[in-house]
Amino acid sequence: MLFEELCLLCEKLEGMSGKNAMVALVSDFIKRLNGDELEPAVRFIVGEVLPPWSGKELGVGYKTVYKVVSDIVGASGDEWLRLFNACGDFGATVQALFERRRRAQRLVTKRLTIREVYERLLRVCDASGEGSRKRKERLVASLFSDASPLEAKYLAKVILGERRHGFGEALMEEAIAKAFGVPLRLVHRVSMLTSDIGLTARIARMGRRALEEQGVVLFHPVRPMLAERASSLREALREVGEAIIDWKLDGARVQIHKRGRVVRVFSRRLSDVTQSLPEVVEAVLGGLSAEEAVVEGEVVAVGEDGGPMPFQYLMRRFRRVHGVRESREDVPVKLYLFDTLYLDGELLIDRPLEERRELLVGRADEELIVESIRTSDLREAERFFKRAIEEGHEGVVVKDPRAPYTPGVRGRRWLKVKAAPHTLDLVIVAAEYGHGYRYKYLSDYHLAAYDPETGRFLVVGKCFTGLTDDELEMMTRRLKELAVKQVGRVVYVVPKVVVEVGFAEIQESPHYPSGFALRFPRILRIREDKSPQDADTIETVRRVFEERRARQRISSGGSH
User: pLDDT-based confidence at 307, cuts 50/70/90?
Assistant: confident
CATH architecture of 48-160: Orthogonal Bundle (1.10)
Flag whether pLDDT at 77 surpasses 60. Answer: yes
> Distances from the Cα of 532 to the Cαs of 19, 68, 313, 558, in angstroms?
21, 28, 22, 40
Listed residue (177, 165, 220, 216) closest to 55, CA to CA: 220
CATH architecture of 227-418: 2-Layer Sandwich (3.30)
Flag whether pLDDT at 557 surpasses 90. Answer: no
% of the chain with per-residue pLDDT over 70: 94
% of the chain with per-residue pLDDT over 90: 56
User: pLDDT-based confidence at 551, cuts 50/70/90?
Assistant: low
Query: Alpha-carbon distance 279 to 225, whole Å?
Result: 25
Q: What is the pLDDT of residue 28?
A: 97
Average pLDDT over residues 269-294: 94
User: pLDDT-based confidence at 314, cuts 50/70/90?
Assistant: confident
Phi, psi values for residue 416, rounded to 5°: -95, 135
Q: What is the pLDDT of residue 560?
A: 41
Q: What is the pLDDT of residue 290?
A: 96
> Distances from the Cα of 96 to the Cαs of 100, 103, 112, 155, 292, in angstroms?
6, 11, 19, 14, 52
Element (H, E) at 292: strand 292-301
Question: What sign does the dihedral 167-169-170-171 (CA atoms) show?
Answer: positive
Give the distance from CA 44 to its chain's centroid.
17
Q: Give burial (CB, 10 Å; 0-12/13-18/19+) of 389.
A: middle
Average pLDDT over residues 290-311: 90
DSSP string, 119-132: HHHHHHHH--STTH
Average pLDDT over residues 50-56: 86
Listed residue (287, 317, 319, 300) closest to 253, CA to CA: 300
| Residues 6 or more apart whose Cβ sits within 8 Å of residue 121 | 49, 58, 143, 158, 159
If you average pLDDT over every residue of the chain, what do you get?
89
User: pLDDT-based confidence at 296, cuts 50/70/90?
Assistant: very high
Element (H, E) at 448: strand 442-451
Q: What is the pLDDT of residue 553?
A: 60
- Out of 2.40.50.140, 3.40.50.970, 1.20.80.30, 3.40.640.10, select the CATH number for domain 423-549: 2.40.50.140
Q: What is the pLDDT of residue 210?
A: 97
Element (H, E) at 75: none
Q: What is the pLDDT of residue 359?
A: 98
248 is catalytic: yes
Flag whether pLDDT at 152 surpasses 90. Answer: yes
Flag whether pLDDT at 237 surpasses 90. Answer: yes
Flag whether pLDDT at 139 surpasses 90. Answer: yes
Q: What is the pLDDT of residue 323?
A: 64
Reported as a single tens digit per residue, the pLDDT across 356-398 is 999 999 999 999 999 999 999 999 999 999 999 988 898 999 9
Catalytic pick from 248, 258, 399, 416? 248
Flag whether pLDDT at 319 surpasses 80. Answer: no
Reported as a single tens digit per residue, the pLDDT across 483-531 is 877 788 888 888 889 999 988 888 888 888 888 999 889 999 899 888 8
Give the distance from CA 510 to its chain's centroid.
29
Flag whether pLDDT at 458 surpasses 60. Answer: yes
Reported as a single tens digit per residue, the pLDDT across 10-47 is 999 988 878 899 999 999 999 999 989 999 999 999 98
Flag whether pLDDT at 455 surpasses 60. Answer: yes
Phi, psi values for residue 260, rounded to 5°: 60, -125
Listed residue (212, 213, 220, 188) closest to 201, CA to CA: 188
Average pLDDT over residues 546-560: 61
Helices (H), 321-430: 324-330, 353-363, 378-390
Flag whether pLDDT at 554 surpasses 70. Answer: no
> Are the C-beta atoms of 203 and 225 separated by less than 8 Å?
no
Query: Alpha-carbon distance 58 to 411, whole Å?
Result: 34
The domain limits of the chain are 48-160, 227-418, 423-549
Query: Alpha-carbon distance 106 to 104, whole Å?
Result: 6
Reported as a single tens digit per residue, the pLDDT across 239-261 is 999 999 999 998 999 999 999 99
Q: What is the pLDDT of residue 559?
A: 43
Q: What is the pLDDT of residue 20?
A: 92
Q: Give burial (CB, 10 Å; 0-12/13-18/19+) of 326.
A: exposed
Q: What is the pLDDT of residue 238?
A: 94
487 C-beta neighbours (distance < 10 Å), count: 10
Q: Dihedral of the CA atoms 368, 370, 371, 374 (nearest 10)?
A: -120
The residues facing 369 across adjacent strands are: 337
Phi, psi values for residue 111, rounded to 5°: -90, 100
3-state SS, residue 212: helix
